[in-house]
Amino acid sequence: MADSPLVQRVKEVHEQARLLATLDAAARNDALEQVACALEEARGEILAANAADCEQAKANQLNPSLYARLELSPSKLAAAIAGVRQVAALPDPLGQRQLHRELDTGLILSRVTCPLGVLGVIFEARPDAVVQIASLAIKSGNGAILKGGQEASRSCQAIMEAIHRGLEKSAVPAGAIALLMRRAEITELLQLDQWVDLIIPRGSNEFVRYIQNNTRIPVLGHADGLCHLYVDAAADLEKAIAITLDAKTQYPAACNAIETLLVHRQIAETFLPKVAAALEKAGVELRGDAIACHLVPMTRASEADWATEYCDLILSIKVVPDLDAALDHIATYGSGHTEAIVTEDAAAAARFLQEVDAAGVFHNCSTRFADGFRYGFGAEVGISTHKLPPRGPVGLEGLVTYKYQLVGNGHIVATYSGASAKPFTHRDLES
Residues forming contacts to a copy of itself in the complex (CB under 8 A) are 18, 21-22, 101, 103, 107, 109, 114, 116-117, 197-198, 218, 236, 238-239, 242-243, 245-247, 250, 331, 349, 353-355, 357-366, 368-370, 374-376, 386-389, 391-393, 401-414, 416-417, 424, 426
Cβ proximity of 64 and 176 under 8 Å: no
Question: Whole-number minimum distance, CB 107 to a copy of itself, in Å?
Answer: 6
Neighbour-count burial for 305-337, b at 16+ CB within 10 Å, e otherwise: bbebbbbeebbbbbbbeebebbbebbeebbbbb
- Per DSSP, 259 falls in state E
Q: Which is nearer to a copy of itself, 4 or 404 (CB)?
A: 404
Question: Whole-number minimum distance, CB 104 to a copy of itself, in Å?
Answer: 10
Q: Which residues contact 259 (CB under 8 A, 6 or more apart)?
A: 226, 227, 228, 308, 309, 310, 314, 315, 316
Cβ proximity of 281 and 396 under 8 Å: no
Question: Whole-number minimum distance, CB 232 to a copy of itself, in Å?
Answer: 14
Enclosing H/E stretch for 57: helix 43-59
Q: Which is nearer to a copy of itself, 52 or 109 (CB)?
A: 109
User: Hey, what long-range contacts does 191-195 have (CB within 8 A, 24 or more apart)?
Assistant: 191/215, 192/6, 192/7, 192/10, 192/120, 192/217, 193/217, 195/7, 195/10, 195/11, 195/13, 195/14, 195/118
Question: Whole-number minimum distance, CB 86 to a copy of itself, in Å?
Answer: 14
Cα 173 versus chain centre, distance = 26
Q: Which is nearer to a copy of itself, 310 or 362 (CB)?
A: 362
Question: Whole-number minimum distance, CB 85 to a copy of itself, in Å?
Answer: 19
Q: Is the peptide bond before 91 cis (omega within 30 degrees of 0)?
A: no
Q: Which is nearer to a copy of itself, 86 or 150 (CB)?
A: 86
Q: Which is nearer to a copy of itself, 117 or 221 (CB)?
A: 117
Question: Whole-number minimum distance, CB 114 to a copy of itself, in Å?
Answer: 8
Q: Which is nearer to a copy of itself, 202 or 368 (CB)?
A: 368
Question: Whole-number minimum distance, CB 151 to a copy of itself, in Å?
Answer: 29
Q: Which is nearer to a copy of itself, 238 or 430 (CB)?
A: 238
Q: Which residues contact 76 (CB under 8 A, 6 or more apart)?
A: 128
Supply φ then ψ for residue 390, to 5 degrees.
Answer: -75, 140
Find residue 97's DSSP bridge partners. Answer: 112
Question: Whole-number minimum distance, CB 267 to a copy of itself, in Å?
Answer: 16
Q: Which is nearer to a copy of itself, 277 or 353 (CB)?
A: 353
Strands 227-231 and 143-147 turn out to be unpaired
Q: Which is nearer to a copy of itself, 198 or 317 (CB)?
A: 198
Torsion sign, CA atoms 26, 28, 30, 36: negative
**What is the widest separation between alpha-carbon atoms in the chain?**
81
Question: Whole-number minimum distance, CB 366 to a copy of itself, in Å?
Answer: 5
Enclosing H/E stretch for 320: strand 314-320
Q: Which is nearer to a copy of itself, 100 or 164 (CB)?
A: 100
Question: Whole-number minimum distance, CB 242 to a copy of itself, in Å?
Answer: 6
DSSP per-residue letters across 170-219: SSS-GGGEEEE--THHHHHHTT-TTT--EEEEES-HHHHHHHHHT-SS-B
Alpha-carbon span 346 to 350, nearest angstrom: 6
Q: Which is nearer to a copy of itself, 254 or 293 (CB)?
A: 254
* CA 218 vs CA 16, 116, 119, 120, 398: distances in Å: 21, 11, 10, 10, 12
Question: Whole-number minimum distance, CB 42 to a copy of itself, in Å?
Answer: 30
